[in-house]
Amino acid sequence: MKSPFIKQLRTGKVKQMGTPNAEDPFDRPWESGIFKEKRQGKIWLHKTGLASDEQADLKAHGGPEKALFAYPIKHYAFWQQELNTKVIDAGAFGENLVLEGTDEFTTFIGDTYQLGEAIVQVSQPRRPCWKPARRFRVMDLALRIQNSGKTGWYYRVIKEGNVEAGEELKLLERPYPEWSIAASNEVMYEKKSDLNLAYELASCTLLAPNWKRSLNKRLRGKESSITKRVYGPNKEKN
């Protein structure tokens, strides 16, 4: 089977947008690193991400467990139809890697790949937040992404090195073939009452710590609300 490859490599700086005291929450000031541009040539991949890349909210994005955000390019045909717009296209969700040849059903927690000079490892699915909704002015977009299963995923960096567009992700190891990104999303969002599955996924050694914390809270009967994550300040009224 052909290896997935980087269709586009993207980085971007944090931008400030919006108008102070705007009546519509969508127009109020906000900042984000979601606006990433295509890059050519080799870019150094650090333990915490690509050189010249930035994230605005380091609690929710970036860091060692979320060094690279990947999203399958084929999903954008779905979103163009779902949202009835051609504006949304590759890079729309702030991904670093626009990938071809893979998706949430063929990518697994702990998958370890050679990527150029670097080695990367799948750490978790992406948990969509309110910023894509703000960018495209669709209030429930985070929920739509979550419920569609078309979330994308993150990589941690095992070995630093140069990467560039066009390079293949060459699979080195697949320790958890039972835990695809799709299966992990199902446990988190669709099968909340199945505590056995929650326990099994939380026991996956290579799952990112923040996902383990969320699942362990569920097991203790203290699951957090998703409202702040999916709507954020988009619903605030001043």
Picking from 8, 26, 13, 20, the residue whose alpha carbon sits closest to that of residue 136 is 26
**Average pLDDT across the chain, whole number:** 95
pLDDT band at 238 (very low <50, low <70, confident <90, very high): very low
Mean pLDDT of all residues in 200-212: 97
Q: Which CATH class is domain 5-235?
A: mainly beta
pLDDT tens-digit readout, 74-125: 999 999 999 999 999 999 999 999 999 999 999 999 999 999 999 999 999 9
pLDDT > 70 fraction of the chain, expressed in percent and rounded = 99
pLDDT tens-digit readout, 137-194: 999 999 999 999 999 999 999 999 999 999 999 999 999 999 999 999 999 999 999 9
The per-residue pLDDT for 58 is 73
- Contact assessment for residue 108 and residue 179, using Cβ atoms and an 8 Å cutoff: yes
- Contact assessment for residue 89 and residue 95, using Cβ atoms and an 8 Å cutoff: no
Mean pLDDT of all residues in 65-76: 97
- Contact assessment for residue 217 and residue 223, using Cβ atoms and an 8 Å cutoff: yes
Question: Which residues does residue 154 pair with via DSSP β-bridges, in sequence order?
Answer: 69, 124
The rounded distance, in Å, linking the Cα atoms of 121 and 113 is: 6
**In the chain, where are the structural domains located?**
5-235
Question: Which residues does residue 75 pair with via DSSP β-bridges, in sequence order?
Answer: none
Query: Is residue 226 predicted with pLDDT exceeding 50?
Result: yes
